[in-house]
Structure 1
Amino acid sequence: MDTKPGGASGMTLGILAIIWFFGVPLCLWQSLVAGLGSPAGNRAEMDAWVTAAAVIFTVVPILAAGICAFTGRVVRAWIFGLVATVCVGLVLAGLYRAERQAESRRPPPPLPSGYCAEFSGGDSDCPGG
């Protein structure tokens, strides 16, 4: 790639910007449509669109920072690097939040075999008690 502003690297950065600004909202819109398309919602399709949005959201600034660093655009490389860092942080925070919510919805582990609970006010049927 050349370092001229109108060269192939500049065109690549423009294409990446278009993909980033239009791809992420389009993927999120498709996720919303997939969720509203049926009564129960198509969870697998929704998750696929959200994953695609997260990939575009994080990968495009990383690629742009790499292109800028490779072509000697130092200030733009720093800007895209900071944007990429924020985007990755937001995606990781969302994944952490989703995992915490999934953990709170898990059923408690089953009781061990042979478990015997004593109840107050009654006879104990437990062995040894």
Structure 2
Amino acid sequence: MEAAEAESGNVSGMVLGLLAVIWFFGVPLCLWQAIAAALTGYAGFEGEGTNAWLTAAAVIFTVVPVLATGICVVTRRVVRAWIFGLVAAACVLLVLAGLYSEARRAELLRPPEPLPSGYCAEYSGGDSDCPGG
């Protein structure tokens, strides 16, 4: 019975190590690729390559700590579960703040809605061509 638990602990420890390597090297690599895509500009994509790499970095940034937290909860590693849980919560909040900031910036850069048809603006100092006035 103890041998099976030890083997399970070894496997989950290796998986946690692999997740840490993916997290520590995957996120910077994706960000580096996004910077390279933004600087070189893929022909005809106009930012799509940069967005794809940034999305990949955000997914790795949030999913890996969540998976690590789940593995620690299942294997009853309480302290590590709390640590990974706090890291996962912080990562999710950072990604959500970035998404909110990007949505807010897109909202501010959106052109104003066109005036309704039949709209007539009156100007001071002259006759009014608007109906009813």
TM-score > 0.5 by shorter chain: yes
- Could you list the runs of 4 or more consecutive aligned residues of structure 1 that deviate by over 4 angstroms after TM superposition? 1-6
**Gap regions ≥5 residues in structure 2:** none
CA RMSD of aligned residues (A): 2.0
Q: % of aligned pairs identical?
A: 68
Give 1:114 deviation, angstroms.
0.3
**Gap regions ≥5 residues in structure 1:** none
Instruction: Output the TM-score relative to the length of structure 1.
Output: 0.93
Give 1:82 deviation, angstroms.
0.4
Give 1:122 deviation, angstroms.
1.2
**Which has more helix, going by share of residues?**
2
Alignment of 1:1-129 (within 5 A): 2=5, 7-38=10-41, 42-129=46-133
User: What letter matches 1:34 in structure 2?
Assistant: A
Question: In 2, are the aligned partners of 1:117 and 1:126 still within 8 Å (CA)?
Answer: yes
Instruction: Output the TM-score relative to the length of structure 2.
Output: 0.91
Give 1:38 deviation, angstroms.
3.0
- Tell me the matched-pair count: 129
